[in-house]
Structure 1
């Protein structure tokens, strides 16, 4: 998707007020916030919507269990979502609640319009109803003839008078939409799931209830006061009522939505019911519906009973909100399930953010301060380092389509390549050597190259880490605005000369977990399990995942190698894993490798071994290798990877 769109309407789902916000809610909202911030940065007229879904039988029953008034209960839970998003600096333009009067008015208008168009009729419905999912299921879809196929809870047979939406009339139009707009549902594999479901046949949809009262009443003109809107008709309409549908429609210019972001569990409602409703109302269909996966914790499904639900506020407070944002978007491909662990989060902070990004700014400040009293000029960068600029531009050109196609992990992975170019240029050209050789102009141009790359990366990273990138760009002498984006990214203009100053590291290294993790509740062990805590399979002692993750494995580049005199086995290596200086490693591999074989190659390093001494020399790690009858081989990445990349 290109930047030719001049307006962008970005939405999260409206979150159901039956519980407090968890990491899944935070994930969706951070993605939406990133898209909205980027849209504003490229000059789009942007509207970002989030909010809460507050009607339905489940909410009514939850309030009764707590002895609470239903509206007061909904007010309280809704406020926790809004407060969290404000604390997370989420840049929403509107926070909608389905209890808002303007929303009710818009939903009633939609109901009337659908009826006038012949898409709503009255009948009696009998079926298996899941209160938790607010959904009827055909008996064929039930588990063991009773249980909900989505949440696993018991269903009840409900028979009641209902108004129906003629969903079955829209099968062909929906299938044509999926066929003609292959990226209407992202990732595309989810679109295939929806197509198969619709091809199986659609039944008309019950859109009102009489068994409870907590919802939007159907219009008075129907003279049927016992009916309230089915929660999904009510909830889905929020995307247009927030823009004024049925009331003051001045913001309807933002419709259709550029991206609806949702969890995969509500894909059917958004990809089938919602476009059918819009077709009935003669409104344009959304450009994209993006369905993301679920999050586990340390490989286990989260649940209250296990006590392993991730509180996003606790994580952000402990590790930094912007670090948390980066981790969430980088760690997992959009659409797939993701796993949260403190180990993985710490690795991302120390490696990607600390070693690659933060350390590059430190190197620029250090070099410019040492050689030019802090002065940085960029006018000669292209003269001396055009190859590096061209390589950076190749990555930059790929980024925007990835973002709006929701390939956020690939976006960040590609965005990190210019940082690799910058760090590699310093190691390759060695400014400390150039300055000694009197190559002052080339050295200044190298500093300018580093500043240029940092500026471009920061502008493209701004939507993900707005405060961090603001700090970096202030250090580079400019502000992040749509105008500076246009100049630096679109037009390739150079930075004006500026002067750097020493500053604290952006990403102080984290050495251990900052949150105390509760141990999940364990099922009672069987008697035979108690006999041996450590089982063995084919002679191999099994370990737990926590024991494995206690080992820090990283990709390093061997920047120097020499033989150890008086030793037949040892080589003395300097291995760069993205820290302030290379690690010294004494390795017993001289029989299979010469120093010339190793310099400039990559290897896998155990990075958290206690330092040891071999022949009086300090060794700060160990290289991974495999040895058989044919000799020894170092374990290496299949393709070159960024130094410091964690192995997991």
Structure 2
């Protein structure tokens, strides 16, 4: 049986339409899920929308519509984004789904059975925008002495009856878990932030609200709904059948990887494992807090700054795979990175159109023209052929898999494009177009060598640019069963297809891009 691999994005808060940050997380997680499937893992990939909380209530009130209507509309936009960006999820979960209410209430009951919930009165600072409670010591001073959260968002003094979770009880168990599992929180900068926070002492956490009713009802406590982060985090269990401990949950839990933004690491690395410890459910294996996609000037995108990028408009303007490739190639995963229309165009033209696309186009065009579309024969190998095979083989079997396994996505694409450059240098050096009359057998061997290397590279980059990779491999007649890095190697060549398969006239894979005025920042 294939080794299971359960990966999740953070579920998106749909009080507004998707922005480029949502797309970045979805694309990165999708690339990892696709890589793991290609490596033979039994992958379960979940994404979705987090639809409860005061922010949703206020956003709906501002528009004069029911909160459920806002949730339905906005969740639809996120589903549209996932479809547009070719996100290969297994479940798109909504926290308004009936099975999610059942799972959240079951987790709540498990924490109650552990003696970790008690009723009291909460008085303290709350950020509606962050949906987070903050201690006085965490606040920062804004203009005019206004108190702000560590994220720079407004906070309000809140006082109401609430259920509390005994978070303080889990301070040492959490520290013990971090020490025993150094890769539980990644990258290291996020781990260090969490360690400092937990070592500074944990206060019990308010986990219900009575000031509004848009949320999962607290079992046996009329008038209380769960704090939005309690039910939001539970989604990772809902999607695999909790509270039933057999079936999908037994197969896929604990999750291999929660992919989240760096601004919500505390919720995932402190609150979530504490809830699970209380409920006696195994902890996830790893949490990765990626960075932000920033505007061209390095500022965080926001509606007030007028610099929010619409991922659907970007996909329409540049192409889905060009956008996917840029985000994973140009942003070092785990760090912040800047976006601009010019940067996307520059990267897509340089790596995809001019390098890989041109490599495929001129190789397949020569096979179509000089070999009547039939796959050329191999007539022995020269040292140059052997060297190229060795470089490409090492790239797709070692360098790229190691980078994907380490979540070093920009390094994976860098290794890939260096192999593409090597193939282009080989073409220029071997000049197969000049061999047609002087040495036709050598011409065939050169084209066959390139055909194999292009197939290997198309397979290896498929997690990043899946549609383009599939289109190229289909055009090349590569059997879908062979589309893994280990199936296509230097000894592989579809000899049986030589008399049966014929290339059609090749079509350019990546058109050259210009900067559309309507999406330029």
Range of TM-score over shorter length: over 0.9
Once the 2 structures are TM-superposed, how far is the Cα of residue 484 of structure 1 from its aligned partner? 3.8
Once the 2 structures are TM-superposed, how far is the Cα of residue 489 of structure 1 from its aligned partner? 4.2
CA distance in 2, matches of 1:136, 1:306: 26
1:485 partner SS: coil
Once the 2 structures are TM-superposed, how far is the Cα of residue 315 of structure 1 from its aligned partner? 0.9
CA separation of 1:425 and 1:330: change in aligned 2, threshold 3 A: same
CA distance in 2, matches of 1:499, 1:186: 48
Q: 1:170 maps to which residue?
A: 170
Once the 2 structures are TM-superposed, how far is the Cα of residue 180 of structure 1 from its aligned partner? 2.5
Which of 236, 240, 261 is residue 237 of structure 2 equivalent to? 240
Q: 2:475 maps to which residue?
A: 475
Q: 1:360 maps to which residue?
A: 359
Does structure 2 conserve the Cα–Cα contact (< 8 Å) formed by 1:21 and 1:81?
yes
TM-score, length basis structure 2: 0.92
CA separation of 1:156 and 1:370: change in aligned 2, threshold 3 A: closer
Q: 2:428 maps to which residue?
A: 427
Does structure 2 conserve the Cα–Cα contact (< 8 Å) formed by 1:418 and 1:453?
no
Could you list the per-position Cα deviations for residues 131-184 of structure 1 after superposition, in whole angstroms to 9, with x for gaps in the alignment?
Answer: 221222111111237523234233222222222222222222222322232222
CA distance in 1, matches of 2:107, 2:452: 52
Q: Does 1:506 align with 2:506?
A: no
Does structure 2 conserve the Cα–Cα contact (< 8 Å) formed by 1:102 and 1:247?
no
Does structure 1 conserve the Cα–Cα contact (< 8 Å) formed by 2:116 and 2:165?
yes
Once the 2 structures are TM-superposed, how far is the Cα of residue 311 of structure 1 from its aligned partner? 0.7
CA distance in 1, matches of 2:451, 2:489: 17
Range that drifts further, 271-280 or 245-254:
245-254
Q: 1:405 maps to which residue?
A: 406
Does structure 1 conserve the Cα–Cα contact (< 8 Å) formed by 2:20 and 2:293?
yes
Range that drifts further, 32-41 or 331-340:
32-41
Does structure 1 conserve the Cα–Cα contact (< 8 Å) formed by 2:456 and 2:488?
yes
Does structure 1 conserve the Cα–Cα contact (< 8 Å) formed by 2:8 and 2:46?
yes
Does structure 2 conserve the Cα–Cα contact (< 8 Å) formed by 1:18 and 1:77?
yes
1:50 partner SS: strand
CA distance in 2, matches of 1:277, 1:139: 24
Q: 2:156 maps to which residue?
A: 156
Q: 2:323 maps to which residue?
A: 324
Once the 2 structures are TM-superposed, how far is the Cα of residue 185 of structure 1 from its aligned partner? 2.1
CA distance in 2, matches of 1:121, 1:484: 55
Q: 2:300 maps to which residue?
A: 301
CA distance in 2, matches of 1:515, 1:251: 48
Once the 2 structures are TM-superposed, how far is the Cα of residue 381 of structure 1 from its aligned partner? 6.2
Aligned pairs for 1:355-504 (under 5 A) are 355-377=354-376, 379-380=378-379, 382=381, 384=383, 385-396=385-396, 397-438=398-439, 440-481=440-481, 483-485=482-484, 488-489=487-488, 493-496=492-495, 497=498, 498-504=501-507
2:148 partner SS: coil
Greater strand share, structure number: 1
Q: 1:112 maps to which residue?
A: 109
Q: 1:544 maps to which residue?
A: none
Does structure 2 conserve the Cα–Cα contact (< 8 Å) formed by 1:186 and 1:291?
yes
CA distance in 1, matches of 2:147, 2:277: 33
Does structure 1 conserve the Cα–Cα contact (< 8 Å) formed by 2:139 and 2:150?
no
Does structure 2 conserve the Cα–Cα contact (< 8 Å) formed by 1:26 and 1:312?
yes
Q: 2:187 maps to which residue?
A: 187
1:348 partner SS: helix
2:305 partner SS: coil
Q: 1:214 maps to which residue?
A: 214
Q: 2:333 maps to which residue?
A: 334
CA distance in 2, matches of 1:401, 1:487: 14
CA separation of 1:381 and 1:198: change in aligned 2, threshold 3 A: farther
CA separation of 1:264 and 1:5: change in aligned 2, threshold 3 A: farther
Does structure 2 conserve the Cα–Cα contact (< 8 Å) formed by 1:105 and 1:247?
no
CA distance in 1, matches of 2:230, 2:377: 57
Q: 1:95 maps to which residue?
A: 92
Could you list the per-position Cα deviations for residues 14-63 of structure 1 after superposition, in whole angstroms to 9, with x for gaps in the alignment?
Answer: 11121110110011111122222222223322211111111111211222
2:484 partner SS: helix
CA distance in 2, matches of 1:363, 1:154: 57
Q: Does 1:55 align with 2:52?
A: yes
CA distance in 2, matches of 1:267, 1:15: 14
Does structure 2 conserve the Cα–Cα contact (< 8 Å) formed by 1:382 and 1:389?
no
CA separation of 1:170 and 1:377: change in aligned 2, threshold 3 A: farther
Q: 2:283 maps to which residue?
A: 285
CA distance in 2, matches of 1:58, 1:370: 62
CA distance in 1, matches of 2:94, 2:245: 17
Greater C-alpha Rg: 1
Structure 2 gap segments, 5+ residues each: none
CA distance in 1, matches of 2:7, 2:157: 38
CA separation of 1:277 and 1:378: change in aligned 2, threshold 3 A: farther
CA separation of 1:489 and 1:184: change in aligned 2, threshold 3 A: farther
Q: Does 1:259 align with 2:262?
A: no
CA-based RMSD of the aligned residues comes to 2.2
2:152 partner SS: coil
Does structure 2 conserve the Cα–Cα contact (< 8 Å) formed by 1:137 and 1:148?
no
CA separation of 1:119 and 1:401: change in aligned 2, threshold 3 A: farther
Q: 1:12 maps to which residue?
A: 9
CA separation of 1:160 and 1:174: change in aligned 2, threshold 3 A: same
Once the 2 structures are TM-superposed, how far is the Cα of residue 96 of structure 1 from its aligned partner? 1.0
CA distance in 2, matches of 1:53, 1:476: 42
Does structure 1 conserve the Cα–Cα contact (< 8 Å) formed by 2:116 and 2:166?
yes
Greater helix share, structure number: 2
Once the 2 structures are TM-superposed, how far is the Cα of residue 355 of structure 1 from its aligned partner? 1.2
1:504 partner SS: coil
Once the 2 structures are TM-superposed, how far is the Cα of residue 242 of structure 1 from its aligned partner? 1.3
Q: Which has the higher contact order (CA 8 A, sep 6+)?
A: 2
Q: Does 1:136 align with 2:130?
A: no
Aligned pairs for 1:496-645 (under 5 A) are 496=495, 497=498, 498-510=501-513, 512-517=514-519
2:140 partner SS: coil
CA distance in 2, matches of 1:463, 1:95: 20
CA distance in 1, matches of 2:517, 2:323: 13
CA distance in 1, matches of 2:328, 2:468: 16
Could you list the per-position Cα deviations for residues 597-628 of structure 1 after superposition, in whole angstroms to 9, with x for gaps in the alignment?
Answer: xxxxxxxxxxxxxxxxxxxxxxxxxxxxxxxx
